[in-house]
């Protein structure tokens, strides 16, 4: 029997055993892949370079969000954008970073790579926010809109919000950097593509926003930062057909989420509140993750998020939920027998 490395539980998605049949470890839309977006990606011409200037894509994204095209910056992925923004902030004289209590690990890794010290003081700092947050799927707790040198809002899960409302108004959103990664909402996480929307004041105020040089950030992007498939994904993302498909997914995901939470609570799990298509839960006793994985089940250990003993679970369809319950019952029986 092949043993899954312990490091596999600190990441979502495929591992040394390949893709799990019932993968609760990612936050991807379980209704996906989006048929229209998938068709666009499959039809992408990978035999040629995309337009190096990406002439039309920023215009499409800008029209979708109702902003000026020059505010849109393309990125290879959320992680690529996180590392590039952090490097840029350091070059602009930013020396510290403010992070949510529980957060995506690349925020901290990028800060460490570029020598930014973690601080609770937002003054002259790079401040990261994510809403709905990861791993908890909750509202962001601490905003420093008027004090931070640079605030970035990661909106990876905003399209998959199932309850609640965003904390920031449209006017407040215009004051921060916004990072979008539609591949999760479209159920196509294997396609890496992202984009940033710069704050409105960055273009309205002479000399930039708080002395930040956006032109340098643009120059730091590698050539052809997006491949043909990433371009196809983002172009599809803004189409009315794809947005209609996404809207149709949300009621189903809400029903599935209620069912999944109820099943886990019946097994004695503690479930944290969440507004997104995923949530964190704590089992009543330690789990044998390797045995679960052999049953085709993968969960996301939340220890690396600062939540030891908790697991993040994406909402999946009832068939996957029933398989999870069966596997949990089986592994619990084995552990009780062995003790």
| Cα–Cα distance, 137 to 189 (Å, whole number) | 18
Q: What are phi and psi of 22, to 5 degrees?
A: -120, 95
**Would you call 125 helix, strand, or coil by DSSP?**
strand
Point out the domain boundary residue: 238, 273, 304. Answer: 238
Asked if 85 and 143 sit in the same domain, the reply is yes
Compute the average pLDDT of residues 322-337.
77
Task: Give the pLDDT score at 208.
Answer: 47
In a domain, 6, yes or no: no
Point out the domain boundary residue: 189, 216, 238. Answer: 238
Task: Give the pLDDT score at 62.
Answer: 97
* Banded model confidence at residue 18, pLDDT cuts 50, 70, 90: confident
Point out the domain boundary residue: 238, 264, 291. Answer: 238
Asked if 39 and 64 sit in the same domain, the reply is yes
Asked if 135 and 151 sit in the same domain, the reply is yes
Residue 16 pLDDT exceeds 80: no
Asked if 67 and 214 sit in the same domain, the reply is yes
Residue 184 pLDDT exceeds 50: yes
Number of domains in the chain: 2
| Cα–Cα distance, 220 to 222 (Å, whole number) | 6
Asked if 44 and 169 sit in the same domain, the reply is yes
Virtual CA dihedral for 226, 230, 234, 236, nearest 10 degrees? 150
Tell me which residue range forms the domain holding 44: 35-238
Residue 270 pLDDT exceeds 90: yes
* Banded model confidence at residue 81, pLDDT cuts 50, 70, 90: very high
Asked if 214 and 253 sit in the same domain, the reply is no
Q: What are phi and psi of 159, to 5 degrees?
A: -65, -15
Compute the average pLDDT of residues 114-138.
95
CB contact at 8 A, 84 and 75? yes
């Amino acid at each position: 029997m092949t043993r899954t490395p312990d490091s596999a539980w600190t990441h979502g998605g495929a591992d040394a055993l390949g893709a799990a049949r019932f993968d609760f470890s990612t936050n991807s839309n379980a209704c996906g892949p989006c048929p229209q977006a998938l068709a666009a990606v499959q039809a992408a011409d990978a035999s040629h370079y995309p337009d190096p200037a990406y002439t039309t894509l920023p215009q499409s994204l800008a029209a979708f969000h109702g902003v000026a095209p020059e505010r849109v910056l393309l990125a290879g992925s959320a992680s690529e954008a996180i590392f590039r923004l952090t490097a840029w902030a350091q070059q602009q004289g930013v020396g510290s970073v403010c992070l949510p209590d529980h957060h995506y690990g690349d925020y901290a890794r990028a800060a460490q790579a570029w020598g930014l010290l973690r601080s609770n003081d937002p003054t002259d700092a790079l401040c990261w926010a994510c809403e709905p947050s990861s791993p908890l799927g909750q509202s962001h707790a601490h905003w420093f809109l008027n004090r931070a040198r640079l605030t970035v809002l990661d909106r990876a899960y905003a399209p998959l919000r199932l309850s609640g409302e965003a904390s920031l108004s449209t006017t407040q959103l215009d004051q921060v950097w916004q990072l979008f990664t539609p591949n999760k909402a479209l159920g196509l996480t294997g396609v890496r593509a992202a984009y940033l929307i710069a704050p409105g004041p960055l273009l309205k105020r002479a000399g930039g926003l708080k002395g930040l040089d956006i032109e340098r950030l643009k120059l730091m992007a590698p050539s052809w930062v997006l491949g043909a498939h990433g371009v196809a994904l983002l172009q599809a993302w803004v189409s009315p057909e794809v947005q209609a498909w996404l809207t149709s997914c949300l009621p189903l995901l809400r029903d599935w989420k209620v069912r999944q939470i109820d099943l886990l609570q019946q097994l004695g799990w503690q479930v944290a509140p969440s507004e997104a298509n995923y949530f964190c839960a704590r089992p009543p006793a330690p789990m044998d993750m390797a045995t679960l994985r052999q049953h085709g089940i993968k969960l996301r250990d939340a220890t690396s998020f600062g939540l030891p003993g908790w697991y993040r679970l994406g909402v999946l369809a009832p068939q996957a939920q029933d398989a999870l319950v069966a596997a949990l019952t089986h592994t619990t029986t084995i552990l009780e027998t062995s003790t």
